Structure 1
Amino acid sequence: MRVLSWIYLSAAYIFVFLPVVVLVVFSFQDGRLPVPPFHGITLDWYVKVLGSRDLMDALLNSLIVAVISSTVALVLGFLAAHALARVRLPGSALMRGLLIAPMTVSYLIIALGLLNVFNQAGIRVSLWTAGVGHVVINLPLCFAITYAAMGDHQKNAERAARDLGAPEWKVLLLISAPMLSAPLAAAFFLSVTFSWDEFIIAFLLTRFDVTLPVEIWSMLRSGLSPATNAVGSIVFLVSIAMVVVLETFVFRRTK
């Protein structure tokens, strides 16, 4: 039975990580195409990627949009979760359902709806409009994670702080948020990851200043190249680094 368990676990890991391994390996391909056979190791494609101004600008745009939109989504999701968890409001179940509903809607539908709204309002698409779209898709995630983590022990600590004369903003900032540091960090980093990788909303709601997934799509239109593998490897490295930071400085400290 244990042997079957190890076989199943190994097969699952191979299924998940084999495409990533292939992507990284052929980013060092000493040839013009990232396909077998492997001709040797070179760093020329990484030099080309890191020296490309368009790619570096797109990378910076992705970081800006991901961090700002995730921060806004986290704050709004935390406030909404705190209000619905601590105050009994008429129709609170309906409100929770409406807040989580965007998680069940296709990103394409959300992007088209936002595009129509911005066109009707006379707002030109840009990184800011893409950021708004990422807030829409990440707010339900932040709300769901934060709401699920709220318990009675936090409620008692908040009540004690109010009894001692703390104003509501101090209760939220100094009591509620620190007690939910791990769920809030998880929600933030997941939002950054989703925003970092998101393509459809970024494609429809940007024009001249684009994010990294849109720039990669533009590169793929001219054909396969180890340069696209190098970009993908860098993105994977950044994602892994965020997970390591989260595990090292947040979850381990919480435990």
Structure 2
Amino acid sequence: MRGTIRLATIIYAILIYGFIFLPVVTLVLFSFQATSFPIPPFTGPSLRWYETVLADSRLTSALGNSLIVAVISSALATLLGFLSAWGFARFYIPASAVLRGLITLPLTVSYLIIGMGLLVLFNAIGIPKSLLSAGIGHVVINLPLCFAILYSQMGEHQANIERAARDLGAREWQVLTLVTAPMLWPALFASFFLSMTFSWDEFVISFLLTRFETTLPVEIWNLLRSGLNPKTNAVGSLVFLVSIVFVLLFELTLFRKQRR
């Protein structure tokens, strides 16, 4: 009986992981296709389409734009999330629970709704579609996540260390930068890289808020409008690779913190 249950568990796990990763494996496999059609039989391996992608100025420009938007917006979202979490955790704020709920509210709202709202707002105040607009949108969707992560890590033991630093003559900005931030560096690091992962893959807000300078997901969508080909598979594989790197850095950071 126990052997049957174990076998069923293994089969179930294989089916679950196969369902999740089979599309990704297919995408990566046919990105090495030597012919112009990403269909069986497989005729690789060939780096032809990766060379084509890296030689395409539009794609490489979109890649650079995605990295710039992801890094800057994630850094800003992490900073604002840190300051917000610190303020709520260390000071008395009237209606604190309500205000915390408002900060995390974008986590429950569709990106389409957020993007449309930002588009209407930016049109009303005269901000054109650009990478700046997309970056602001990415801060809006990532700040609540950063706040939730950092707020959950601000315990009473850290508050005691901060009080000790003040008793020893440290000013408030010194407590914040030299005491609080170093104690929270794993959470700050994790917030930053998780935000980068979401910003790197984000399409809807980038599509709504950019015009001539686009991010890589938007450029991939433009490629898909002409149909599937190994070039789009190669671009998708590169995006998946970068996302995996971000997720691994996030996981390693949390793992090291748990060990400590």
Which TM-score bucket, shorter chain as reference?
A: over 0.9
Q: Does residue 70 of the first structure (1) align with residue 74 of the second (2)?
A: yes
Which residue type is aligned with residue 226 of structure 1?
A: P
Give the corresponding residue for 2:177: 173
Match of 1:244 among 239, 248, 252: 248
Give the corresponding residue for 2:147: 143
Give the corresponding residue for 1:13: 17
Q: Tell me how far apart the structure 2 counterparts of residues 230 and 42 of structure 1 sit (CA, whole Å).
A: 11
Q: Does residue 58 of the first structure (1) align with residue 62 of the second (2)?
A: yes
Q: Does residue 216 of the first structure (1) align with residue 208 of the second (2)?
A: no
Deviations, residues 4-60 of structure 1 (Å, cap 9, x unaligned): 333332222212211111110010112222122222321110000011110000000
Match of 1:133 among 117, 134, 137: 137
Which residue type is aligned with residue 9 of structure 1?
A: A
Q: Does residue 152 of the first structure (1) align with residue 144 of the second (2)?
A: no
Deviations, residues 97-146 of structure 1 (Å, cap 9, x unaligned): 00000111111111111111111111111000000000000000000111
Q: Does residue 40 of the first structure (1) align with residue 44 of the second (2)?
A: yes
Give the corresponding residue for 1:230: 234
Match of 2:122 among 100, 118, 121: 118
Q: Tell me how far apart the structure 2 counterparts of residues 97 and 246 of structure 1 sit (CA, whole Å).
A: 25
CA positional deviation for 1:93? 0.3
Which residue type is aligned with residue 179 of structure 1?
A: M
CA positional deviation for 1:147? 0.8
Corresponding residue SS for 2:31: helix
Match of 1:81 among 85, 91, 102: 85
Q: Which ranges in structure 1 are unaligned for 5 or more consecutive residues?
A: none
TM-score (norm 2): 0.94
Q: Tell me how far apart the structure 2 counterparts of residues 165 and 251 of structure 1 sit (CA, whole Å).
A: 33
- Whether the 8 Å contact between 2:194 and 2:247 is mirrored in structure 1 is no
CA positional deviation for 1:186? 1.2
Give the corresponding residue for 2:53: 49
The number of residues matched between the two structures is 254
Corresponding residue SS for 1:80: helix
Q: Which moved more, 1:164-173 or 1:92-101?
A: 164-173
Q: Which ranges in structure 2 are unaligned for 5 or more consecutive residues?
A: none
Q: Tell me how far apart the structure 1 counterparts of residues 106 and 246 of structure 2 sit (CA, whole Å).
A: 25
Which residue type is aligned with residue 6 of structure 1?
A: I
Q: Tell me how far apart the structure 1 counterparts of residues 52 and 186 of structure 2 sit (CA, whole Å).
A: 38
Deviations, residues 181-200 of structure 1 (Å, cap 9, x unaligned): 11111111110011001111
Q: Tell me how far apart the structure 2 counterparts of residues 85 and 185 of structure 1 sit (CA, whole Å).
A: 19
> Identity of paired residues, percent?
62
CA positional deviation for 1:225? 0.6
Give the corresponding residue for 1:164: 168
Q: Tell me how far apart the structure 2 counterparts of residues 141 and 102 of structure 1 sit (CA, whole Å).
A: 9
- Whether the 8 Å contact between 2:193 and 2:249 is mirrored in structure 1 is no
Q: Does residue 191 of the first structure (1) align with residue 220 of the second (2)?
A: no
Q: Tell me how far apart the structure 1 counterparts of residues 44 and 182 of structure 2 sit (CA, whole Å).
A: 51
Deviations, residues 197-239 of structure 1 (Å, cap 9, x unaligned): 1111101100100000000011111111100000011111112
CA positional deviation for 1:253? 4.4
Q: Tell me how far apart the structure 2 counterparts of residues 133 and 49 of structure 1 sit (CA, whole Å).
A: 27
Q: Does residue 31 of the first structure (1) align with residue 30 of the second (2)?
A: no
Q: Tell me how far apart the structure 2 counterparts of residues 12 and 169 of structure 1 sit (CA, whole Å).
A: 49
